[in-house]
Structure formats: C-alpha cells, structure tokens
Structure 1
Amino acid sequence: MELDDIHTILIIGPTSSDKNVDLSTALYDTVDILHQLGYKMSIIVEDPTSLLSSGVFYDKSVVEKVTGDNVLKYVQQFHPDAILPTVGDRNALGIVSSLNGKIGGTKVLGANFAAYLATFKRELFIKRLTKANLPVIKFISSNDEKEIYSFIRSIGFPIIARRRYSNRHSSGWTNINNLFELDNFMALEDIEDTKIEIERSIRGFSEYSFTIVRDQYDNSSLIGTIEDVEPIGVHHLDSNLVSPALSLNDSKLQRLRNYSIKLARVFNVVGVCTVHFAYNHVTKESYITEFIPRLSEETKFLEYATSYPIATVVAELCLGYHLDKLQLDAGSPFNGATEPFVDHITSRFPQWKTPEQRYLGPSKTSDSSIIVNGFSLEEVLNKGALNDKFNGNFERYNELRKLDDDELFEKIIHPTNWILDVLSEAMRRNFEKPVLSEITGIKLPYLSALQNIIDNSLIIREGEIDGKNVERMVEMGVKGVGHSKLLLDSKDIVTKTVVKNKRAISVGNNKYINHNYFVTSGISNELELSDRKKIIVRTPIITSKTDIMIRQFVLFQLAKSIDQNGLEPIIIGREPWNAPLVMRRKVVEIDDPHMEIKSLGLIDKDSVLRTIDLSKNIVDDENEQVFQFSAQELKNIDLEGNTSVRVMVVSDGKNYLAPSVIYQAKRDNHLYEVSSVNNFMTVEDRADIAHLISQELENYDHVDIYNFEMVKSHDHWLVTKMYRGMTSDIIRHELASSVHVIDTLVKLLLGNKIDDDLSLEKIFANFDEQYLLAIDCKRYKLLDKDEMQEKLTEYRKKED
C-alpha cells in the first residue's frame, strides 16, 4: 500500500512563524501521524517557534535559513529518502522546483517538479492548462510592440498590463479598457531590459476556490469550496470569505469540481490541491487563475469548516496510501474518499487594527481575521462583518448617514473595508439591489441577506415582534441574549440562545468524533459533556498574527496538560480554535463571538474546577476561580543595558520555580539571545536573581506565572520590568525549558505545591541538551552544551 522504500523524510518548514500560523498547526498534525507510522523525520526551519512543540517528533532539527542551498547541503550530507514540502510555504515550492536533477534518488512527495515550477512560471502554467483544454487566461510577456498589439487583438479589451523589470520587480497592474488607454500606456518611457506583461482583465468576476485531495491511484475527493463575497480585484484575504460557495448551483459546482480534479491529474498532484477560479455569472466564462499544491491558509480554514483532517490525510496520501484506506491517530480507520457534507455556513471576515477606511485592491492590507459559524448568511454577517463589538459598525453607520447620495455613490464605486456597511446604507436609501450588484460585483444573495438584516433591525427597534416574523429572525441569528431585550422577553421558545454541534464530517465517517460547537438560536441544546471535572479556557478576539501564534501554542499546551491531569478541557472562544488532531477528540470547543455561554447555564458550576482566561479584557476579576492568564504589567523602569535576562517564574503563592532564563546581550551592533542559560549561570548570578525574585513576590500569595526582565548594571542585577501572566515570550520560554511551565501551572491550579527550601540548583533546574541562539531576533541556531558554552564565554569576554 504505502511506499516501502521511504524511511527517512526531510520536511521543509515554514519560513516565518508570524506569517504561517495555520501551517504551524498543520505541521504538528503532519509530523504526529508520520511519527505514529514509524518514519524518521528531520526538519529545516528558520524560526523554531513555528513548531508548536512538534520538535519532540524529529530525529534532527536544522535551524537555518530555508534556502535551496541549505536543503541541498542537507540532502548531500544525510541522504534522506524523501522531501516533503507541502507543509512549507510558497518558498518551499520554489526550493523544490530549483532542485530538479540535483538530489539523486531522494524523492519529492506531493507533486512533481513541473507542478511546483508552474506555481511560479506563468508561461508553463498556461501551456499545460491550454494543452489539457482547461480554461486559463491568456498571457504575454514581451518587449516587441507588434507582438503585443497582435496579442491584444486576439483577446480583446478589457486587459490589464504592467512592466516587468530586469531585477524581477514590476509596476502595479493597470486597467486598460480601449485602444486610447493602451496607446497612453505604451507611450510611457521604457527602462532598458523591461518587458510588458498583458493578460485579459477579469476584474469584477466572482472568485471561488476548490480544494481537493488526490492519491497516486487517481482517486480524488472535493473537500470544500470557498467563495469571496467581493469580486476579483480585491485581494483574496481582504475579502469576506464564505464556505461552502453559496452562489453556485449544482451544474456550476460540478463543472468547476471537474476542472479542479483534471488540473490535479495534469500536474500529477498527490496530496492536496487548491484551485482558484474566476467566474462570470452573466457570460458563463470561467478561468483557472492559480493553483496551490500544498497546505495553506485556505486548507486550514476548510479543515475547521468541514472537520476533515486535511493535514493528516495529505501526509498519508504522499506516502502512497489509498484515499479510502487512511488511518488517523491511534490507528483508527478513516475513509477520506467520502466528501464532507456540512450543515452550516463558515465565514472568515478580515480584520484591520485601525477603524479607518482602507481602499481595497490586489494587495493584502488586513492584519488578521475572525471566523464565525451560522445556519444562514444573515447569521454569519451579524456575527462577523456586521458585529459592532468587532468592527465599530454603529460608528460607521453614523458617519455614512451624514453623506449625501453622490458621496455615498463614490464609496460604492471604490471598494473599501466598509463596503458591506456602505451597501447597507445604500439599501436603506432604496438604491436598487440589481444596480448595486452590477456596480460592485457583489452577488444578489448577499445583498438580499443585507436587506433582510436591515428589515429585521427595523422590526426590533419598533417592537413589532409576533409569531409571523420571530422564526425568520431566529434563522438570522437574532437571539435574546446579547441582541435585544424585546426578543429576550418574547414568550416564543424559538428565540432562546442554544448551542449546536457543528456537524460537518459526512455520515460515511460517523466514527470520526468532533466535539465542536457554536452558539446560535433554536429550541434545544446539543452540548454533550463527560462526567469528568472540567477546566474552562476562555480565549480573546485575535488582533494580529503574533497573538494568534501565541494563543495556538498556549491553547495546545493547556488542553494537553488539562487532559493529561484527568480533566475535561473546554475551550470557549470568540474566534474558533482548531485543535491539532491528537487533541480534537478530547477537547470540547465552543465558538461564542458574543460571549453568551456563561448565561446559558449549560455547564454545571460544581463540575468546573477553574476557569483560565486568556482574554485581554479582564473579567470576573473578583472571582477567585478565574485565573487571568493574559499579561498585566506590574513594574516598568526605563533602564537599558548591554546585558539583560528574561526570567519566567511559576509560583504557588509561597515558593517558586524559574525553569527558563533567556540571556540577552548587545555586542558588535547585534542582539544575541541564548535560551536555557540556567545551565550556564554562575552561583553568584543565581543567588542575585533569586534574591530579586523573592523580593518582588513578597506581596503576591496566589498561583501565577511571572515574567521578569533584569538588566546588569555595575555588576549588579536590577529588575526593570515585571509582568503577571502570559507575555509574547511564552513560546520561547516553553521551547527553551525542559520543565514545561504551562503544565506546572495547571498542576499548581489543581492544588499541587512546590517544595519548601529548594536549593538554587533545583529552583533553576533545566535538563536541556540543545540550546537556541537567536541573532537579531531573525537568525536562529541550535547548539549543544559545549558550543553554547564557547559562545557565552566569548560574549562575557566582550562584556568585561
């Protein structure tokens, strides 16, 4: 069944943890299943914080810049049987395509060299699709004016054009609608060695993406579809995304599905392949715009939406498993050929740090996103894009009301991140929906959903609630709690807030358990809990990629520790968290964007031992059962030095441990950070630091985590910063320490104690064998004890 000549696998990891959060969790699932199947794995990764504790599975970890030269050097030195690039980012595909003919008998898993090269070489992409009779946008790159004009005559207007310079940079795309605009563009002064790139304009087309999985025996399955609410012309990740694609009827869906499967066959993609389409609902034209033969942000979104374990499935398919004969953790069988059927809508709404309007175009500008579930378009719009708690929609509404019709029309023509609010205001003024759809490219179902929300808001304000409209309102996610006192007081039972199971995996895989729920409206609750004692973890609204990375890491560690201590972990979040597969059957996840679950009383208070709150907005601060895990600044002195340390301390209220100390030194205009210097500290330094920690903790008698920053000045250590709770250092500390801080914290919250009168050696105990050296927070190296001792001696000599 599987490839029996593969025993060792080199994984090309993501290049940057902040930008590849979704890949980090996918990476954990991938290496976990490969470890269970008995493979030896190594990884090349730039930033080890992206590993999310998956480092325990690797035979070798190479912390180097992820480049073709370093991958080739590793292959030539250690001769792995195969390379797996599907959990890397786009950089991994470029590396693999450059290694063709250089890696001898080492196999490349996932797809062939041509497939990876075609993700970069548009000419090859178009050539392959044209030969296979797949719809693709014609493209030319030339400096010959006659050739350019001839090509334009063959495809017609409108077109888009840009200049590609010899240094690989390019100008932005220019929309050209007629010969006059083309002549003006061509008349612009040229720089030497510049080519003009031209292709047919698809601006205003609808954008869809189809994700399929395929095995080496040509069996394929459609995992899910995603639809962009905004048309092409707005960057995919700046658009509001909806899964499944709601505006495709069955014939259109099957047509694009067949194209996706055929493309995967053309490039012989084994594993996962996401295909992007541009579709014109008026002319029925469709074009394949790109394909992604690897795990990506979209596959992680679909994994959450459908509960289909894509990362695990892809790893096994790459190794030769049949699509219908897969296995998950602990060897449980899984039929991956059964296409998921979802009973709900999942939407992903982009977020910006500032409330101001941003003009949207082909470049990504959003900082993060919020994912919500619902049973209707109206419900997901109410929870996400029109959620005043997230976006300040009421302030937008007041600003837009002040505009006259001409000013409002300007905002309709030029799309911004306020576009749904702008369209809502336009419909309040009775602008016609077909006209708005034609101008903006946003499809009528979404405009109708906005109109329904407007109509029902009016009903709520005027109090005209009766049996005729209450059921329709509930379908739109309008509930009593958090929305309207009128609905809350209504005698109709349908208006109550309930919790529903997010049923997404198909009946063909009904043994695959998914404890994932979301808060909605209805009559009955479906939340099922075990009789085990529980710890609840509340998570925040996420505002940046870095926050997400920290939260993913901390949630995973917390959930794992809570389960290992014999308790049931319940994760309640304003934004959903997709647990790694190994934890997915053990964790109860409840998506609750309005934080309503507490008022429902569905979780027996007597069964809850503690609540751990990761949110930055302090709530229940007088409730001793709630542990605030987010960082709170306790001390901040403006004092800098060339030598400093960051110490993580976990305390039971009386005694403490300091399992992780990170040393920081500025030398030769570079910043050096060394993990686990516990093992290299002098007796004097240990004593000084321990004395300072004891002084600072004198007035704190509760279980907690503390973070200290200390600066060395005139041979003495001084505390400059002190935080209670989790800071952004949590990943570095946890990775740097053989003593797991989060697990220690959970044990202390359950009543365990730290021994009295511990020696300094035991307070600072750490049993690491490898040490992480970071240079300028970008370059990382893993060193053994002797190598690290040499480095520290070198820095200390410069210090003296």
Structure 2
Amino acid sequence: MELDEIHSILIIGPTSSDKNVDLSTALYDTVDILHQLGYKISIIVEDPTSLLSSGDFYDKTIVEKVSGENVLKYVQKYHPDAILPTVGDRNALGIVASLNGKIGKTRVLGPNYAASLATFKRELFVKRLTKANLPVIKFVSSDDEKEIYSFIRSIGFPIIARRRYSNRHSSGWTNINNLFELDNFMAMEDIDDTKIEIERSIRGFSEYSFTILRDRFDNSALIGTIEDIEPIGIHHLDSNLISPAVSLNDSKLQRLRNFSIKLARAFNVVGVCTVHFAYNHVTNESYITEFIPRLSEETKFLEYATSYPLATAVAELCLGYHLDKLQLDAGNSFNGATEPFVDHITSRFPQWKNDKQRYLGPSKTSNSSIVVNGFSLEEVLNKGALNDKLNNNFERYNELKKLDDDELFEKIIHPTNWMLDVLLEALRRNFEKPVLSEITGINLPYLAALQNIIDNSLIIREGEIDGGNVERMVEMGVKGVGHSKLLLDSPDIVTKTVVKNKRAVSVANNQYINHNYFVTSGISNELELSDRKKIIVRTPIITSKTDIMIRQFVLFQLAKSIDQNGLEPIIIGREPWNSPLRTRRKVVEIDDPHMEIKSLDLIDSDSILNIIDLSKNMVDTDDDRVFQFSAQEIKNIDLTGNTTVKIMVISDGQNYLAPSVIYRGKRDGHTYEISSVNNFMTVEDRADFAGLISQELEKDNHVDIYNFELVKSNGHWLVTKKYRGMTNDIIRHELASSVHVIDTLVKLLLGNKIGSDLSLEDIFNNFDTKYLLTIDKKRYKLLDKDEIQTKLHELRKKE
C-alpha cells in the first residue's frame, strides 16, 4: 500500500511569521500519525514554539531559517528518504521548487516540482491550465512598459497589478480601474530585478474554493467548499466566508468539482489541493484564479466545518495510501473517499483591531477571525458578522443612518469592512436587491437573508410575535443571540436554546466520535457527556494571531492533562478550537459565542470540579471553583536593566515550584533570552530569587500560577513585575522546562500538594537537556548544555 522505500522524513516547517498559526494543529496531527506508523521524523523550523508540543515525535529538530540552502544542507548531511512540505507555508513550496535536481534520491512527497513552481510562476500556471483545457485568466509579467500597455489595451479595464521582486516577494495586488490610476502605479519608484504583473480584474465575480484530496492512483474526493460573501476584488481572508457554498446549484457545483479534480490531475498533486474559482452567474463564465497544493488556513477552516481529519489523511496519501484505506491512527481504518455531507452552515468572519471603516482590496488587512455555526444564513449572520456584541453593529447602524443616498451608494461601490451593514441600510431604504447584487457581486441568497433579518427586527421591535412567526424567527437564530426578551420568555418549545452535534457524515468509521457541538435553537438537546467528573475551560474571543497560538497551546495542554488525570475536559469557546485528532475524540468542544451554555443547566453542576477561565473576563466570581487563568497584573515598577529574569511559579497556597527561569540580557544592541537556565544559576541567585518569591507570595494562600520579572540593579535583584495567571511567555516557559506547569496546575486543582520544606535545588529543579536561545525575538536556536554555558559566560562577561 504505502511507499516501502520511505523510512525517514524531513518536514519543512512553517516560518516564524504569525500568519502560520493555523498550521500548528495540522502539524501536530501530521507528525502524530507519522510517528504512530513508525517513520523517523525530523523538522526544520524557525520558531520551535509553533510546534504545539509535538516535539516528542521528532528524531531531530533543526531550528534554523527555513530556506532552500538549509534544507539542502540537511539533506546532504543526513540523507532522509523524503521531504514533506505540506505543513509548511508558501515558503515550503518555494523551497521545493528550488531543490529540483539537487537532492539526489530524496523524494518530495505531496506537491511535486511543477506544482510548487506554478504557485509562484504565473506563466507556468497559465500554460499548464491552458494545455489541460481549464479556464484561466490572461496574464502578463514583464519589465517592458510597451508590452504592458499593449496587453492592457487588449483586455481593457479594470485590471489588477503588482510588482514581483526577484526574491519571490511581491507588492500585493492593486485594483486599477482607468488609465490615470495605471499611470500612477507605473510611476512608482522602480527597483532593480522587478517585473510588473498584470491580469484582468474579475471584481464582481463570485469567489469559491474547492478542496480536493487525491491519491497516487488518481482517486479523488471533494472534502468541502467555501464561498466568499463579498466578491472577488476583496482579499479572500477579509471576506465573510461560508461553508458549504450555498449559492451553487448542483450543476454548477459539479462543474467546478470536475475542474478541481482535473487541475489536481494536471499537476499530479498527491495529497491536498485547494482550487480558487471566480464565477459569473449571469454569463456562466468561470476561471481558476489560483491553487494551493498544501495545508492552509482554508483546510483548517474546512476541517472544523466538516469534521474530516484532513491533516492526517494528507500525510497518509503522500506516503502512498489509497484514499479509501486510510487510518485515523495505527489501528483504526476509515474510508477517506466518503465525501462529507454537512447538515449545518459554518461561517468565518474577519476581525480588525479597531472599529473604524477601512476600504477593502486585494491585500489582506484583517488581524484575526471568528467562526460560528448555524442552520441558516440568517443564524450565522446574526451570530457572527451582524452581532453587535462582537462588532459594534449598532454604532455602525447609527453612523450609516446619517448618510444620504449618494453617500451610502459610494460605500456600496467602494466596499469597506462594513459592507454587510451598508447593505442592511440600503435594504432599509428599499434599494432593489437585483441592482445591489449586480453592483456588489454579492449573490441574492445573502441579500434575501439580510432582508429577512430586517423584517425580523421590525417584528421584534413592534412586539408582533405570535405562533405564526415565532418558529421562523428562531430558525434565523434570533433566540440564539438573545435579541428578544419576548422570545426568551416565550413558552413555545421551539424557542429553547439547545446544543447540537456538529458531526458531519465525514468518515466511514463508527469509532470516530468527534465531540463537537454548537449552541443554537430547537427542541432536542444532543449534548453527550460521560459520567466522569468534569473540568470546564472557558476560552476568549481572539484578537490576534499571537493570542490564537497561545490559546491553542494552553488548550491542548489543559485538555490532555485533564483527560490524563481521569476527568472529562469540556471546552466552551466563543471562537471554536479544532483540536488535534488525538484529543478531538476525548474532549467535548462547544462553540458558544455568547456564553449561553452557562444558563442552560445542561451540565450537572455537581459533576463539575473546576472551571478554568481563559476569557479575560472575571465571571462567576462567587463560585470558588473558578480559576482565572489569564494574567492579572499585581505589580509593575518602572525599572529597566540590561539583565533581567522571568520566573514562572506554581503554588499550592503554601509551597511553590519555580521550574522555569528565563534569562534575558541586552548586549551590543541585541536582546538575548535563554530558556530555561535553572541548571546554570548560582547558589546566590537561587537564594535571592527564592527569598524574593517567598516575600511576594507571603499573603497568597490559593492554588495559582505567577509570573515574576526581576531586574538586576547595582548588583541586587529587584521584583519589578508580578502577574497572577498566564502571560504571553507561557509557551516559552512550558516548552523550555521539563516540568510542565499546566499539568502541575491541574493536579493541584484536584487537591494534590507540593511537598513542604523543599530545598532550593528541589524548588528550581528540572531535567532539561536542550535550551532555547532567542535573539531579538526573531532568531531561535536549540542548544545543548555546553553551548548554553558558553553563551551565558559570554553574556555575563559583558555585564
């Protein structure tokens, strides 16, 4: 079945960019299944904190810049049988393209040389699709101004353009609507080794993406579809996304599905391939705009929406498994050719750091996103993009109401991140839906859903709720977001808020139980819980990619530890978490954007031992079972120094451990952080740190995590910062130390104790053999004890 000659695999990991946070669980699932199947795995990665505790699976971890040069050095030194780039970012495909003919007998699994190169070389992409009779947009890449203007005359405006630099980076796409805008773009400062790329703009077309799995025997399956509510011309990740694509009828869906499979065949992609389409519903024109032959943000979203274990399947397909004979682990088989059927809608809407309007274009500007589920378009829009609790939509409504029709029309023509609110206001003023659809490219089903939301708001406002409309309103998620006191008080059984199972018909295996639920409205509750005692973990709204990485790491450690200690972990989140497959069958996940689960009494209070709150909002403060995990600042003294330490402390209320001490030194214009230096501390430093910590904890008598920052001033250590709970350093502390603070915390919450009368060696004890060196928070190195000793000696000589 599998490729017998493959025994050792080098994984090209993601770069240190925060854009790659969605690959962390995919990476864990990938190396987990490879480890279970008996492969020797190595990884080259820039930031080891992105590995989500998968470090135990690796034979070697190389912390270097993820580049073709470093990958080639590794191949020439260790001669792995294969390279797997599917869990790297776009940079991994560039590396594969650069290694053609240089790596001897080492194989590339998944995307081959041609597929990888075509993601960067538009000319190759267009040529290969044209040869395969697939629809593609005309394109030119040139540094010849006459050639560029001649091409534009042949296709006409509007167009999109960008500068492509010799190092594969680009300026990002720019919309150009007329000759004046083109002249301004061309007049921008020129740079050597730069080409201008021009292609026809298809702004106003609908945008879809299809994700296909394919094995080396040419068997394929459609795993899921995604639709952008806003049209092409807006960056894919700044648009509100819907899965499945609800505006495609069956004939259109099958047409695009066939194109996707044909593209995967044209490039001989084995594994995963996400294909982007532009579709004009008036003329029935369709074009393939790009393809992604690797795991990505979209596959992560689809894995959550469909419950299909994508990362695990992709790893096995790359190794030669048949699509219908995959394994969830080293023992349980499943039929991966079973295409998922979902009975619900999943929506992903972008988030920005401030509430101001911003114009949207081909370049991504959003910081993060939130995902919600429902049974209708109205429900997911009410829960997500039009939810005042998350997006301040009421303030948007008040601002837009002040505009006259011409000013509002300007907002429709030039879309902003308030587009759905703008359309709501336009519909309130009786703008015609077909005209709005033609101008914006937004399909009529979404405009009809917005009209229904307006009509419902009027019914609620005027109190005209009766048996004839209450069920329809509940279907639209009105009860689910708590808009109406009338509905909340209604005795009608359909207004009950319940929890529904989000499991799709995804795999032909009864043993794959995905405990994934979401809060909606209806009659029957489907929440399934064991008779084990429970620890509930509440999670926050995510505001940045850094927050997501920290939350993923903490949730995984908590869920794993709670389960290992014999309890049932229940994760209740405002933004869902797609946990690694190993945990997904043990943890109960409930997507609850408005924390309604608190008032539903669906979880027996007597079965709950503790509630761990990561939400950054103090709730249930009168419940002594609640443990506030997010950081609360206790002390902050404005004192800086060239030498500082960060100490994580875990306390049972009487005694404490300090298993991770991070050394930080500023030397020669650079900042060095070494984790964890417990084994390199002097006796005097240990005594000083212990005395200061004991003094700070003198009045604290509860189980807690603390983070201290100490500064060395005039030869003495001073405590300048003290936090109760988790800080952003949690990943560095947890990965750097062999003593896992999060697991220790769970044990202490269950009543275990830290020993009394511990020696200084016991308090600061760990068993580390590798140490993480960070330079300027950008460059990372994993060093052994001797290497760290040398580096510390160099830094201390300069104190």
Letter in 2 for 1:676: S
Q: How far 1:198 moved relative to its partner?
A: 2.8
For the residue of structure 1 that corresponds to 2:641, the secondary structure is: coil
Q: Report if the CA contact (8 A) 2:28-2:580 is conserved.
A: yes
**Any idea what SS the aligned residue of 1:398 has?**
helix
- Equivalent residue for 1:623? 623
- Output the amino acid matched with 1:484: S
Corresponding residue for 2:80? Answer: 80
Q: 1:166 and 1:7, CA in 2 relative to 1: closer, same or farther beyond 3 A? A: closer
**CA offsets 1:194-237 (integer angstroms, 9 cap, x no match):** 65433222111111100011110100000000000000110000
Q: Is the 8 A contact 1:338 1:509 kept in 2?
A: no
Separation in 2 of the partners of 1:507 and 1:692?
56
Does structure 2 conserve the Cα–Cα contact (< 8 Å) formed by 1:703 and 1:749?
Answer: yes
Residues 269, 538 of structure 1: CA spacing in aligned structure 2 closer, same or farther, 3 A cutoff? same
Q: CA shift at 1:509, angstroms?
A: 3.6
* Superposed counterparts of 1:146-545, under 5 Å: 147-148=147-148, 151-152=151-152, 155-161=155-161, 195-479=195-479, 482-506=482-506, 508-545=508-545
Partner of 1:124: 124
Deviations 1:409-465 (A, max 9, x none): 111111111111111111111111111111111111101101100100110111111
What is residue 632 of structure 1 aligned with on the other side? 632
Per-residue deviation, 1:111: 2.0
1:699 to 1:130, Cα distance in 2 relative to 1, 3 A? same
Amino acid at match of 2:350: P
Contact 1:480–1:486 (Cα < 8 Å) also in 2: no
Deviates more, 1:129-138 or 1:497-506: 497-506
User: Residue 392 of structure 1 aligns to which amino acid in structure 2?
Assistant: N
Q: Hey, what's the Cα distance between the residues in 2 that align with 1:334 and 1:267?
A: 27
Closer, same or farther: CA 184–536 of 1 in aligned 2, 3 Å: closer
Partner AA of 1:638 in structure 2: D
Distance 2:105 2:639 in 1: 57
Q: Distance in 1 between matches of 2:544 and 2:325?
A: 39
Aligned to 1:594: 594
**Conserved 8 A contact 2:172-2:362:** no
What residue identity is the alignment partner of 1:37? L
Counterpart code for 1:207: E
In structure 2, how many angstroms separate the alpha carbons of the residues matched to 1:49 and 1:192? 37
177-186 vs 628-637, which moves further = 177-186
Q: State the secondary structure of the residue aligned to 2:22.
A: helix
How far does residue 482 in structure 1 lie from its aligned partner after superposition?
2.5
Question: In 2, Cα distance between the equivalents of 1:713 and 1:196?
Answer: 55
Secondary structure in structure 2 of the residue aligned to 1:468: coil
Look up the equivalent residue of 1:751 and give its one-letter code. G
Q: 1:777 and 1:154 mapped to 2: Cα distance?
A: 49
Residue 506 of structure 1, CA deviation:
3.5
Deviations 1:493-528 (A, max 9, x none): 101101110131347344321100000000110101
Match of 1:50 in 2: 50
Cα contact 1:208–1:225 (8 A) shared by 2: yes
Question: The residue matched to 2:120 in structure 1 has which SS?
Answer: coil
CA–CA distance in structure 2, aligned partners of residues 669 and 186 of structure 1: 39
How much does 1:149 deviate? Answer: 5.8
**Structure 1 residues 168 and 88, CA, compared in 2 at 3 Å: closer, same or farther?**
closer
Distance (Å, rounded) in 1 between the aligned partners of 2:610 and 2:533: 10
Given residue 38 of structure 2, which amino acid in structure 1 is its aligned partner?
A: G
| Cα distance, 1:292–1:431 mapped onto 2, change above 3 Å | same
Q: Which moved more, 1:109-118 or 1:151-160?
A: 151-160
Deviations 1:527-583 (A, max 9, x none): 010000000000010100001100000000000000000000000001101110000
Q: Would you say the 8 A contact 2:480–2:520 is kept in 1? A: no
Structure 1 window deviating more from structure 2 (372-381 vs 425-434): it is 425-434
Identity of aligned residues (%): 87
Q: CA contact under 8 A between 2:611 and 2:627: conserved in structure 1? A: yes
Matched, 1:711 2:711: yes
For 2:256, give the aligned amino acid: L
Distance in 2 of aligned mates of 1:95 and 1:403:
51
How far the C-alpha of 1:467 sits from its partner, in A, is: 1.1
SS of aligned partner of 2:513 = coil
> Equivalent residue for 1:3?
3
What's the secondary structure of 2:18's corresponding residue?
Answer: coil
How far apart, CA to CA, are the structure 2 residues paired with 1:180 and 1:756? 77
Aligned equivalents of 2:22 and 2:165: distance in 1? Answer: 33
* C-alpha contact 1:481 1:488 (8 A) present in aligned 2: no
752-761 vs 431-440, which moves further = 431-440
1:578 aligns to 2:561 (yes or no): no
Secondary structure, aligned partner of 1:647: strand
2:15 is matched with 15
CA RMSD, 1 decimal:
1.9
Once the 2 structures are TM-superposed, how far is the Cα of residue 706 of structure 1 from its aligned partner?
Answer: 0.2
When the two structures are aligned, how many residues end up with a matched partner? 799
Residues 393, 157 of structure 1: CA spacing in aligned structure 2 closer, same or farther, 3 A cutoff? closer
Q: Which residue of 1 is the match for residue 140 of structure 2?
A: 140
For residues 41 and 172 of structure 1, the distance between their equivalents in structure 2, rounded to whole angstroms, comes to 35
Deviation of 1:491 after TM superposition, in Å, equals 2.1
Is the contact between residue 329 and residue 581 of structure 1 (CA under 8 Å) also seen in structure 2?
A: no
Equivalent residue, structure 2, for 1:103: 103
Name the CA distance, whole Å, in 1 between partners of 2:189 and 2:790.
Answer: 57
TM-score (norm 2): 0.97
Match of residue 687 from structure 1: 687
Give the superposition deviation at 1:171: 6.4
Provide the rounded CA distance (Å) in 2 between the counterparts of 1:312 and 1:431: 48
CA offsets 1:169-207 (integer angstroms, 9 cap, x no match): 766656566789878988999888765433222111111
Residue 18 of structure 1, CA deviation:
2.5
Alpha-carbon distance, 1:159 to partner? 3.5
Taking a change above 3 Å as real, the CA distance of residues 498 and 672 of structure 1, as seen in their structure-2 partners, is same
Which deviations, in whole Å up to 9, do the C-alpha atoms of 1:7-39 show, x marking residues without a partner?
Answer: 111011100262211101100000000000000
Change (3 A) 1:165 1:500: closer
**How far is 1:67 from its partner?**
0.8
Match of 1:769 in 2: 769
**Alpha-carbon contact 1:17-1:24 (below 8 Å) kept:** no
Q: Which amino acid aligns with 1:238?
A: D
> Aligned partner of 1:72: which letter?
L
**C-alpha contact 2:96 2:112 (8 A) present in aligned 1:** no
CA contact (8 A) 1:165 1:195 kept: yes
SS in 1 for 2:357: coil
Structure 1: runs of 5+ lacking an equivalent: none
Which residue of the partner structure matches residue 753 of structure 1? Answer: 753
User: 1:620 deviation in Å?
Assistant: 1.3
Once the two structures are TM-superposed, the CA of residue 622 in structure 1 deviates from its matched residue by: 2.4
Q: Give SS of 1:259's match.
A: helix
Residues 598-633 of structure 1, C-alpha deviations (whole Å, 9 max, x = no match): 110000000000000001111112211100001000
